[in-house]
A = this chain, B = another copy of it.
């Protein structure tokens, strides 16, 4: 009746829910479970298999997270069609807001190389839920009110410890300020540091930050990113009071700023009294060579504002980022912040504090680093296998995205052809202040949210789309 009889090994090191999940997933993949077929309820399955409801629930959650099954309110769980996971995918997208006209005519989406998606499959949901619940216990005044304007002190202490251990950044918690995302952090800097008027910005550089700077009516001076990183010479010639950089993993080109350039940059700051805004957004994910400490760690003269985020290393839905201010700015900044309120919910802060305190965060980062490494390797292999010399890969040493240079081709055509084959890739030109300067042949692939098999299959389809089916 229930039709599920997994062979579960209770002594295995693989948790039971995982075994169950693999079993059901295999049933679906092998076609033993049809599209729209209803799965037994948690209660039924728990009675039938003599497993706890929690185990069943965890298995089901993972299946749902990966788009194998779907929960329909008040009716239960149903098997989804295997390939077209399209309805699910946009939910994790940053650009969720779209879904405009014309989309209906396209074939179902098989894979979306949306940058910003992260791995949710191995996300420790159960632990995170527990932290959230524990956040409530005996803390209601703390977690229901406005909370500390800089962010909860204990959480800031955890962040300080983490920064010290993993990025070599020494700072006391009172120089840390939480914000609800990197853009909000940048906005606060623009609002509260009037000395910043002219900002040097990597060209190309992160559109999300450039837009915020521009919308605060700051003057933006594009500073070219050369083969060996930002042109400090061009920065010197600009009249910039501050410069925004991504030294660990230049966005979007992917390079690491070499030590020599780092020194020059700090020297520029010293000589001109300028500020360096270091966005260390995805430094957790580095696949080749030694981890390089943050630029901030080298900054003996304390001229760097350091930005970090939990969007890549934990999950975007935290909407939690932070800045570390130089000592000389922290006091003023704090004073000016006095009429503001903190924009991150104290409840989430408290839960994150518990999660970090108990070591779950570092464990999670280690685990996801491994899966991203596997995804990254798979992506590179597939590209070499399928496309060989016809493309160049740009910025593949770390992070959750890379650029492809599809020699002699044009990105609009590439994006459209890919879509016709059910694969969404992106034109990166929005990250150039002068979009015409973006080489036409570049496309951007974010791979954080895609599993290896899907990556591998998708690159096969991309090859078809781009090289085989040319009409």
In the complex, chain B residues whose CB is within 8 Å of the CB of A4 = none
CA distance A96 to B341 in the complex (A): 10
Cβ of A100 to closest chain B Cβ, rounded Å = 11
- Scan A58-92; emit 1 where CB is below 8 A from any B CB, else 0: 00110011010011000001000000000010011
- Smallest CB separation, A145 vs chain B (Å): 3
Query: Complex: how many Å from CA A120 to CA B180?
Result: 24
- Asked whether, in the complex, the Cβ of B215 is within 8 Å of the Cβ of A217, the reply is no
Contacts of A336 on B, CB cut-off 8 Å?
215
A187 at the interface (CB under 8 A from B): yes
Set of chain B residues within 8 Å of A268, measured between Cβ atoms: none
Counted per complex, copies of this chain come to 2
| Cβ B123 vs Cβ A129 within 8 A | no
Alpha-carbon gap, A204 to B336, bound state (A): 20
Cα(A165)–Cα(B216), bound, Å: 37
* Closest B residue to A318 using CB positions: B345
Beyond A91-B141, A91-B142, A94-B149, whether A317 also contacts B346 by CB under 8 A is yes
Pick out which of these stretches binds chain B: A131-139, A244-252, A409-417, A456-464: A131-139
Cα–Cα distance between A47 and B72 once the two chains are bound (Å): 39
> In A141-193, which residues have CB < 8 Å from any B CB?
141-150, 180-181, 183-184, 187, 191-192
- Nearest chain B residue, comparing its CB with the CB of A148: B96
- Whole-angstrom CA separation of A181 from B339 in the bound complex: 13
- Judged by a CB distance under 8 angstroms, whether A348 is at the interface is yes
Contact with B along A318-340 (1 / 0, CB 8 A): 11000000000000001011111
| Chain B residue with Cβ nearest A321 | B343
Interface string of A75-117 (1 = CB under 8 A from B): 0010000000000100111111100000000000000000011
User: Is A266 located at the chain interface by the 8 A CB criterion?
Assistant: no
Taken together as a complex, chains A and B put the C-alpha atoms of A208 and B341 apart, in Å, by 8
Known: A97-B334, A133-B129, A344-B180. A64 touches B141 (CB 8 A): yes
A139-B71, A339-B430 known; A95+B180 contact, CB < 8 A: no
Q: How near does chain B come to A438, taking the closest CB pair, in angstroms?
A: 16
| Contact yes or no, A319 B345, CB < 8 A | yes
Contact B341 A181 (CB under 8 A): yes
Q: Is the CB of A67 within 8 A of B97?
A: no
Q: A392 near B: Cβ within 8 Å?
A: no
Residue A316 lies at the interface, judged by CB distance under 8 Å to chain B: yes
A60 touches B341 (CB 8 A): no
A315: nearest chain-B partner, CB-CB: B144
Tell me, in angstroms, the Cα distance from A126 to B303 when the chains sit together: 47
Known: A123-B140, A138-B61, A344-B180. A148 touches B97 (CB 8 A): yes
Chain B residue numbers with a CB within 8 Å of A217 are 217
Q: Once bound together, how far apart are the Cα atoms of A174 and B150, in whole Å?
A: 32
Cβ A141 vs Cβ B92 within 8 A: yes
Residue A347 at the B interface, CB < 8 A? yes
Q: Which of A242-275 contact B (CB under 8 A)?
A: none
Q: A146-B93, A348-B348 are in contact. Are A212 and B184 (CB under 8 A)?
A: no
Question: Are B180 and A184 in touch, CB under 8 angstroms?
Answer: yes
Q: How far is the CA of A259 from the CA of B356 in the complex (A)?
A: 53
Q: Is A207 part of the binding interface, using a Cβ–Cβ cutoff of 8 Å? A: yes
On whether the beta carbons of B147 and A120 are closer than 8 Å, the reply is no
Q: Which 7 A-B pairs have the closest CB atoms?
A: A92-B145, A71-B138, A191-B215, A180-B343, A211-B339, A97-B149, A65-B140
A-B contact pairs, 5 of them (CB 8 A): A60-B138, A94-B341, A132-B132, A145-B316, A180-B319
- What is A's interface to B at a CB cutoff of 8 Å? 57, 60-61, 64-65, 67, 70-71, 77, 88, 91-97, 116-118, 120, 123, 125, 129, 132-133, 136-150, 180-181, 183-184, 187, 191-192, 207-208, 211-212, 215-217, 311, 315-319, 334, 336-348, 430
Q: A97-B149, A184-B184, A212-B340 are in contact. List 15 more A-B contacts (CB 8 A).
A: A64-B139, A94-B146, A96-B148, A117-B145, A118-B145, A120-B141, A120-B145, A133-B133, A145-B316, A145-B317, A147-B316, A181-B341, A208-B340, A318-B345, A319-B341
